[in-house]
């Protein structure tokens, strides 16, 4: 990516702002960086030279539209372009707030609309089978206890996989069987309290008792086979094996267990606001996707059971 030294300095400050003040996860910051780098590469090609700060601020509506058109020509998904637009808006928002440099043309642009794929939850029976069967894949009893505890946290507490694997030994208390709630730090550093079912507490206690590695108070509690922090890819691999073993669809992933947690609560009458709090969603609109999932299930049941169906 060719750009002026001034732009490089701006980008460095913007990255720090994203990670510090906005508190975006490192993966999100990296994705924003890639999107902005691709945008600047387009601008350099479109304008016939690497942009400087003045040129960046002076881009017109036609320039932004040309960028969107180029992405469409390349066959990039609308969801990808929507994220790229969010990244570029973030950079210009930083220029506005920190450097008082305004670009009204971007504010006039609309983000491309796209349909978010609805979550695909497992059935209660499938989710139960996943959590009770995963231990059979392990090569050692302590690994079986670990994997069972992790998947129960995803399905029984609605944790993201990163949240589960970030739990420290201290977070589980002296005896997880007596722990009623977990304090989870989610996206953006936002904390929430998640009730802990007795079956999860028992599974966590079983793992702690079986784990052969020393568990320091502030270190991640879930350990890999060689004693290092457990990597998400190991959990993902276990779920892939479970798909084959149990005949589950390709959409059965660790994250699908979190979706299943929310969908099954909703089906049993839980309030949408409560589910929002449990999942740690910043916006209710994100949680409302589950109402569409549940409505689809009800429509299928109705169509199959109604005498006029």
Q: Which residues are catalytic?
A: 160, 187, 255, 258, 281, 290
Q: Are residues 138 and 273 in the same domain?
A: yes
Q: Strands of 63-148 (E only): list them.
A: none
Q: Which residues make Cβ contacts (< 8 Å) with residue 137, sequence separation at least 6?
A: 144, 147, 238, 241, 242, 245
Which of 17-31, 100-114, 141-155, 183-197 is the least confident region? 100-114
Local structure of 108: helix, strand or coil: coil
Residue 254 located in a structural domain: yes
Residue from 281, 278, 277 nearest 289 by CA: 281
Residue with the bigger pLDDT between 146 and 195: it is 146
Which of 12-21, 181-190, 254-263 is the least confident region? 181-190
Does 243 score more than 70 pLDDT? yes
Q: Is the dihedral of CA 20, 114, 123, 294 positive or negative?
A: positive
Residue 282 located in a structural domain: yes
pLDDT at residue 116 in the model:
53
Residue from 150, 153, 148 nearest 129 by CA: 148
pLDDT at residue 26 in the model:
84
CA 252/CA 244 separation, integer angstroms? 10
CATH code at position 59:
1.10.150.130
Residue range of the domain that includes 76: 5-107
Q: Are residues 43 and 181 in the same domain?
A: no
CATH code at position 226:
1.10.443.10
Q: Which two tokens stand for residue 225?
A: 């086979």
Residue 119 DSSP class: P
What is the number of domains present in the chain?
Answer: 2
CA 277/CA 286 separation, integer angstroms? 12
Q: Are residues 226 and 298 in the same domain?
A: yes
Does 282 score more than 70 pLDDT? no
């Amino acid at each position: 990516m060719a750009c002026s030294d001034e732009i490089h300095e701006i980008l460095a400050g913007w990255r720090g702002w994203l990670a510090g003040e906005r508190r975006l996860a490192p993966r999100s910051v990296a994705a924003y960086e890639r999107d902005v780098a691709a945008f600047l590469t387009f601008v350099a090609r479109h304008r016939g030279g690497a942009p400087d700060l003045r040129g960046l601020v002076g881009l017109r509506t036609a320039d932004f539209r040309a960028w969107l058109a180029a992405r469409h020509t390349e066959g990039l998904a609308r969801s990808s372009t929507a994220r790229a637009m969010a990244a570029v808006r973030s950079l210009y928002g930083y220029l506005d707030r920190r450097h008082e440099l305004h670009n009204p043309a971007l504010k006039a642009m609309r983000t491309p609309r796209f349909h978010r794929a609805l979550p695909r939850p497992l059935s209660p029976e499938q989710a139960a089978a996943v959590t009770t069967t995963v231990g059979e894949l392990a090569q050692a009893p302590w690994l079986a206890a670990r994997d069972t505890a992790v998947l129960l946290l995803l399905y029984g507490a609605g944790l993201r996989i990163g949240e589960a694997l970030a739990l420290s030994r201290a977070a589980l208390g002296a005896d997880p069987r007596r722990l009623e709630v977990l304090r989870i730090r989610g996206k953006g550093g936002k904390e929430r309290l998640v009730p802990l079912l007795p079956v999860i507490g028992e599974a966590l206690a079983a793992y702690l008792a079986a784990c052969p590695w020393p568990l320091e108070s502030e270190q991640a509690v879930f350990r890999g086979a060689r004693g290092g922090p457990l990597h998400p890819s190991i959990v993902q691999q276990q779920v892939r094996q479970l798909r084959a073993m149990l005949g589950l669809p390709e959409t059965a992933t660790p994250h699908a267990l979190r979706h299943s947690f929310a969908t099954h609560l909703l089906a049993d009458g839980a309030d949408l606001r409560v589910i929002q709090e449990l999942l740690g969603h910043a916006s209710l609109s994100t949680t409302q996707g589950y109402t569409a999932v549940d409505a689809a299930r009800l429509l299928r049941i109705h169509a199959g059971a109604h005498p006029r169906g």
